[in-house]
């Protein structure tokens, strides 16, 4: 059984402000602070960190989408859903560009070398 705080958020029962500040901004800040501890030379650590980040991003998107209209302002709910759709489209476009143009990706050894 899932924890109640997660089940309520995923079912859209929390307010938009709580979903945005708690599950959106709060979790993102915590995740970023943990990222400061990741050794970038450890390939496995970076991969795990990125996979956890992707999973958190999916959860945050679901929570924000489902809680979008739990606000006093229907305009904010619509604005948030529009921003989520735009963000997902941008992720899809960037993945397409990076996967079809592999020369845009730099190898880890070439990251900090001269242009």
DSSP designation for 106: P
Q: Is residue 32 part of a domain?
A: yes
Structural domain of 25:
4-110
Note whether residue 61 is domain-resident. Answer: yes
Using DSSP's 3-state secondary structure scheme, residue 104 falls into: helix
- Is the model's pLDDT at 112 over the cut of 80? no
Per the domain annotation, does 80 fall within a domain?
A: yes
How many structural domains is the chain composed of?
1
Q: Is residue 97 part of a domain?
A: yes
Please state the rounded mean pLDDT for residues 67-83. Answer: 91
Which pLDDT score is estimated for 106? 60
> Does a structural domain hold residue 115?
no
* Average pLDDT over every residue of 11-30: 92
Task: Tell me the C-alpha distance between 39 and 31, whole Å.
Answer: 15
Q: Is 60 exposed, middle or buried (0-12, 13-18, 19+ CB in 10 A)?
A: buried
Residue 115 banded pLDDT, cuts 50, 70, 90: low
Alpha carbons 71 and 64: distance in angstroms, whole number: 11
Task: State residue 97's pLDDT score.
Answer: 86
Would you state the pLDDT for residue 6? 85
Residue 3, both tokens? 């924890």
Q: Place 22 in a pLDDT band, splitting at 50, 70 and 90.
A: very high
The 10s digit of each residue's pLDDT in 77-97 is 999 999 999 999 999 998 888
Q: With 80 as the cut, is the pLDDT of residue 110 above it?
A: no
**53-57: long-range contacts, CB 8 A cutoff, minimum separation 24:** 56/27, 56/28, 56/31
Nearest to 60 by CA among 46, 35, 89, 80: 80
């Amino acid at each position: 059984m899932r924890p109640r705080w997660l089940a309520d958020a995923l079912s859209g029962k929390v307010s938009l402000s709580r979903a945005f500040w708690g599950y959106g901004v709060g979790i993102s800040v915590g995740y970023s602070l943990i990222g400061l501890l990741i050794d970038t030379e450890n390939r496995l650590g970076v991969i795990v960190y990125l996979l956890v980040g992707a999973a958190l991003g999916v959860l945050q998107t679901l929570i924000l989408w489902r809680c979008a209209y739990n606000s006093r302002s229907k305009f904010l709910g619509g604005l948030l859903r529009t921003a989520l759709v735009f963000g997902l489209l941008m992720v899809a476009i960037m993945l397409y560009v990076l996967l079809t143009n592999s020369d845009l990706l730099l190898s880890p050894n070439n990251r900090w070398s001269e242009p």
